[in-house]
Amino acid sequence: MAGFTQIRTLPGHPGTRRTVVACLILAVIVTVAGCGGGPPQREQTALPLKLRQAQKALEQGNDELSTKLFNSLESPEQPLRVRGLARLGLGRLALRKGELDQACRHLELSRKFLSSGPHHARALLFLGEAQLRRGVTNSGLNQLEKAYQSLADPDDRSRAAFLITRTLDHLGQPVAALYRNASQQHSYPEYASIWGADSQPLEITPRIVEEPTPTSRVTRIANPARIRVQNRNSWSARPPRRGAVVRMTRPFRITVHNTADQPAIEKLGQQSPPQYLRRIQEYCTDTLKWGDIGYHYLISFDGRIWEGRSMRYQGAHAGNNSLNRGNIGIALMGNFDINRPTSLQLKSLRSLLAALCTLHDISPDSIAGHQELRETTCPGRHLQAALNRMVKDLARSPARSRTR
């Protein structure tokens, strides 16, 4: 076990308490300062008259007039914010008429034009609803969870929470207390058809597809890229300790790590990844008393991708239960504050990220280096820099389809 103490920093980096305290202080300051209320008054008055007329017509149910006015405001010479709000209006009108493809198109653009703030969050709320109605459930849930954090209007927030709670209940998946509590007081019958018998069937969250024989060593992820993953049989993993692992909820984010081992362990990783994986597993289960190795995937120096903890179970890699929820953990073997990841590792990481984003309908902006989540040097400066470029590139990639 010599040289293994360093692995203590691998799954649970120090600094959580400090971060939590800092967050609490920040929350108190924000509350005292009175932020987080409705959109500032001057924002409303700064809107062009025509836009306000269009919004009023929309609220009054005068669809013909509001369509005409919103359409006239959606032209390239208008400021992005006006175009974003016009698309938001057009999206809501299309949603009202049940023209779901059209609604999604408008709302996708609205989300893009209104890059942040409460209006952006409203675009996400309606986009989430439209996607749920189309049966694109995972993506719909992702929009709603993102919207929930930034919505200013209490009714909008409880609508988002209601849609999330009802959909997860319908799928038989666990619901965070936050959403259940926020939606408890309300009922929105206008959403009933989303889960009713006449709605489109809800998609089943895709999972890893195992090769037919149980002794097979390679698993393929069900996606067009056919990523090869060396499964747990290939490194003779022990089964997870029952009772010490919890079921994975719907994955909606990915966190990238480095294993940051001492040189002796790193050498083992280079010589024999299976042996290395067994030692990490041993440490996680025997010393830390965890249910299994913490990461879902690991990438060795030669670029091979290894299955860590089964995706059936929540990982133990980001720092605490809240950060691990719905979070896919990927670790590259190595210490990337000192060394650079190999080109084979980066190539595999990119393919794996692209495949997981497609498979679980995760937006590339939900991919983060561990240090973006909490105070830690992980995944090391060299990997973090490469990851930043990779995420930008993935977001641009036309091959990745957001809505199947």
- Candidates 54, 121, 227, 378; binder of Zn ion (CB under 5 A) is 378
- How would you classify the pairing of strands 297-299 and 327-332? parallel
Nearer to Zn ion, 20 or 29 (CB): 20
> Residue 305's beta-bridge partner residues?
299
Nearest residue (beta carbon) to Zn ion = 378
Nearer to Zn ion, 16 or 53 (CB): 16
Taking 3-state DSSP, the helix, strand and coil percentages for the chain, each rounded to the nearest 5, stand at 55, 5, 40
The interface region with Zn ion, picked from 38-46, 237-245, 249-257, 340-348 by CB under 5 A, is 249-257
Looking at residue 320, its amino acid is N
Give yes or no for residue 309 binding Zn ion (CB under 5 A): no
Residue entry with tokens 């016009």: 86
Cβ 376 to Zn ion shortest distance, Å: 6
- The 10 Å Cβ neighbour count of residue 35 is 8
Give yes or no for residue 257 binding Zn ion (CB under 5 A): yes
Cβ 370 to Zn ion shortest distance, Å: 3
Cβ 329 to Zn ion shortest distance, Å: 8
Nearer to Zn ion, 358 or 384 (CB): 384
Looking at residue 240, its amino acid is P
Spatial CA neighbour of 323 closest among 370, 365, 288: 370
The interface region with Zn ion, picked from 212-220, 234-242, 243-251, 365-373 by CB under 5 A, is 365-373
The interface region with Zn ion, picked from 103-111, 156-164, 209-217, 378-386 by CB under 5 A, is 378-386
Spatial CA neighbour of 259 closest among 336, 360, 151, 163: 336
Structure tokens at 327: 């979070």
Give yes or no for residue 253 binding Zn ion (CB under 5 A): no
The interface region with Zn ion, picked from 17-25, 190-198, 253-261, 302-310 by CB under 5 A, is 253-261
Nearer to Zn ion, 14 or 36 (CB): 14
Which strand ranges, in their side-by-side order, compose the sheet holding 305-307?
218-220, 228-230, 305-307, 297-299, 327-332, 253-258, 367-369
The interface region with Zn ion, picked from 186-194, 242-250, 347-355, 374-382 by CB under 5 A, is 374-382
Nearer to Zn ion, 166 or 257 (CB): 257
- Candidates 92, 166, 309, 370; binder of Zn ion (CB under 5 A) is 370
Nearer to Zn ion, 123 or 378 (CB): 378
Q: How far apart are CA 83 and CA 115, in angstroms?
A: 12
- How would you classify the pairing of strands 253-258 and 218-220? unpaired
- The 10 Å Cβ neighbour count of residue 343 is 10
Nearer to Zn ion, 111 or 257 (CB): 257
The interface region with Zn ion, picked from 33-41, 110-118, 371-379, 395-403 by CB under 5 A, is 371-379
Spatial CA neighbour of 341 closest among 390, 387, 384, 383: 383
Cβ 383 to Zn ion shortest distance, Å: 10
Nearer to Zn ion, 148 or 336 (CB): 336
Cβ 374 to Zn ion shortest distance, Å: 9
- How would you classify the pairing of strands 327-332 and 305-307? unpaired
Binding to Zn ion (CB under 5 A): which residues in 24-53? none
> Residue 228's beta-bridge partner residues?
220
Count residues binding Zn ion (CB under 5 A): 3
| DSSP character at residue 140 | H
Nearer to Zn ion, 168 or 378 (CB): 378
Spatial CA neighbour of 356 closest among 279, 248, 234, 232: 248
Angle between helices 63-73 and 80-97 (to 10 degrees): 150
Q: Which residues bind Zn ion (CB under 5 A)?
A: 257, 370, 378
